[in-house]
Structure 1
Amino acid sequence: MNTLPLTLSVKDPDGVLIRYKKILSTYQRVRSMSRAFQIHGVDRNTMASTSPIAELLLVAPEKVAEVGEFDASKEKLLDYARRCYKTMDEPTHAKVQTMKKTHKLLPISYRFRN
């Protein structure tokens, strides 16, 4: 019986972090990002666009205060992710890249259009 998993619907930064950690642990086990996304029923682009939120929460939680609160009534998660990305300084980016190389973070890249 081959059933598709329930898609992990995410509505806030905490949900993004939970989903990211689940997919990361699956990725560390199966060693394939596409397989990990498939197992969890999450689109790669969705993960790429929200991963700065999880990376900031995992690598530099002290910087979250600089980003400010997420207000679902005023902005989309993508806008919040863009703010998280812009808050990361060079040392934080370097730490994120190092953790990606050692499989402690998903080796996923993203680009934001301004």
Structure 2
Amino acid sequence: MRIEELEGERDFLRSQLSSLSTQPKDEPLNDTFFNNPSENLDSSSTSSSASSEWSSSSSSSPPKKQKRKFKNKHSKAKKYKKEEKKFRQRVRTPSEIVQRYKSLLKTFPKMKTLSKAFQKHGIDRNTVVSTAAVAELAMAAPLVYQELISNKPSGETVLHFAKRCEEEIQSNDEVKNKIESMKADGTLLPIRRGKSV
């Protein structure tokens, strides 16, 4: 009886050993990266390509503010050149004389002297002085100026018209005093006939 029990235990142990030996020692790794290396590589390269493309497009296109700033600067320079060219052209009508005078009147406070203001606009001092009476009369006594304009003969030169304006100023004390007052307060250029400023 004892022998049969021992043999039974032996058979049981053998069956246990046999079952253990048939099981695999290591479980295979279940990693998607190793199972599909080509798929992961494609995904990585696609992401890198997209990042590179975005970086390239960002660096190649300048900001809108920079474009606008350059455009404004260019347009201002172009406008200044156009105005300067217009200033250098010879005036042919009394209205052009008045317009040029008013532009000089705006420049004068910045330049501090008439000589620098004339130089800024590329105008000869004698040219401005010889026609200043036209603008002075137009700004100080508009009604008197309009009367002279309405009686202006056809073909009369601007220099001859300027002389008539000067004669009107000298013959009218009220107008003459007003012009001197406007020169003193800066609403007219401080031009003195025959004197440099």
Q: TM-score range by the shorter chain?
A: 0.7 to 0.9
* CA pair 27-90 structure 1, distance change in 2 beyond 3 A: same
Q: Is the 8 A contact 1:11 1:77 kept in 2?
A: yes
* CA pair 72-32 structure 1, distance change in 2 beyond 3 A: farther
* CA pair 8-31 structure 1, distance change in 2 beyond 3 A: farther
State the structure with more CA Rg.
Answer: 2
Match of 1:97 among 157, 162, 180: 180
Deviation at 1:9, TM superposition (A): 2.2
Query: Which residue identity does 2:111 align to in structure 1?
Result: V
* CA pair 102-68 structure 1, distance change in 2 beyond 3 A: same
Matches for 1:73-84 after TM superposition, within 5 Å: 73=155, 75-84=156-165
Percent sequence identity over matched residues?
A: 35
Deviation at 1:16, TM superposition (A): 0.2
Matches for 1:62-77 after TM superposition, within 5 Å: 62-69=143-150, 70-71=152-153, 73=155, 75-77=156-158
Matches for 1:1-16 after TM superposition, within 5 Å: 5-6=84-85, 7-16=88-97
After TM superposition, the score normalised by the length of structure 1 is 0.84
Q: How many residues of Structure 1 are paired with residues of Structure 2 in the alignment?
A: 107
Matched, 1:106 2:174: no
What SS does structure 2 have at the residue aligned with 1:105?
coil
What SS does structure 1 have at the residue aligned with 2:193?
coil
Cα deviation, 1:72-113, whole Å, max 9, x if unaligned, reads 62x2211100101111210111111111111211111226xx
Q: Is the 8 A contact 1:24 1:105 kept in 2?
A: yes
Indicate the structure with greater helix content. 2
Structure 1: 4+ residue segments shifted above 6 A: none
Question: Which position in structure 2 is the counterpart of 1:42?
Answer: 123
Query: Which residue identity does 1:61 align to in structure 2?
Result: P
Structure 2: any 5+ residue segments left out of the alignment? Answer: 1-80
After TM superposition, the score normalised by the length of structure 2 is 0.50
What SS does structure 2 have at the residue aligned with 1:42?
coil
Question: Which position in structure 1 is the counterpart of 2:100?
Answer: 19
- Of structures 1 and 2, the one scoring higher in RCO (CA 8 A, sep 6+) is 1
Q: Is the 8 A contact 1:49 1:78 kept in 2?
A: yes
Return 59-68 or 28-37, whichever deviates more: 59-68
